[in-house]
Amino acid sequence: MAVVPNYDALVEVQLRPGIADPQGATIEKALPVLGFEGLSGVRTGKAFRLSVAAADESAARAKVEDLCRRFLTNPVIEDSVVTLQAAAAI
């Protein structure tokens, strides 16, 4: 297995559909006050960036998805989306 990180991962964690997001709702309520029109459906979340060392992209994805399931999300209330790209060569 590669020791040098060869993939960059972006993990976006969001509340599952149907789970109330009071933070998003509060932000949305502030929008008209600030003069923003035509914006709706505000949902808040978290993003994590990390570097991954793995044999190939599917191994890298499996590793990061395992991390999401066991640690980065609480599956009772949160989902995650993993985006991978090859690390820029130095």
Partner 1 sequence: MSARIGVVVFPGSNCEYDAVEAVTTLGAEADLIWHGDRSVDRFDAVILPGGFAHGDYLRPGAIARFSPVMEAVEEFARAGGAVVGICNGFQVLTEAHLLPGALQKNRGLTFLCQTVELEVANSDSILTRGVEIGTRLRVPINHFEGNYTCDPATLEELEGNGRIVVRYVDNPNGSVGDIAGISNEAGNVVGLMPHPERAVDPLSGSTDGAVLLRALVESARRVTSRN
Geometric angle at alpha carbon 45, from 44 and 51, rounded to 5°: 155
Least Cβ distance, residue 76 to partner 1 (angstroms):
4
C-alpha distances in angstroms, 15 versus 2, 5, 51, 61, 85? 33, 29, 24, 21, 24
Under the criterion CB under 8 A, does residue 30 sit at the interface with partner 1? no
Under the criterion CB under 8 A, does residue 50 sit at the interface with partner 1? no
- Lay out the site mask for partner 1 across 67-86 (x = CB under 8 A, - = otherwise): ----xx-x-xx---------
Looking at 1-90, which runs of residues are DSSP E strands? 7-15, 45-52, 78-86
Q: The tokens 């599917």 sit on which residue?
A: 58
Under the criterion CB under 8 A, does residue 42 sit at the interface with partner 1? no
CB contact set of 36 (below 8 Å; sequence gap of 6+): none
Least Cβ distance, residue 23 to partner 1 (angstroms):
6
Least Cβ distance, residue 30 to partner 1 (angstroms):
12
The contact set with partner 1 (CB under 8 A) reads: 19-20, 22-23, 26, 71-72, 74, 76-77
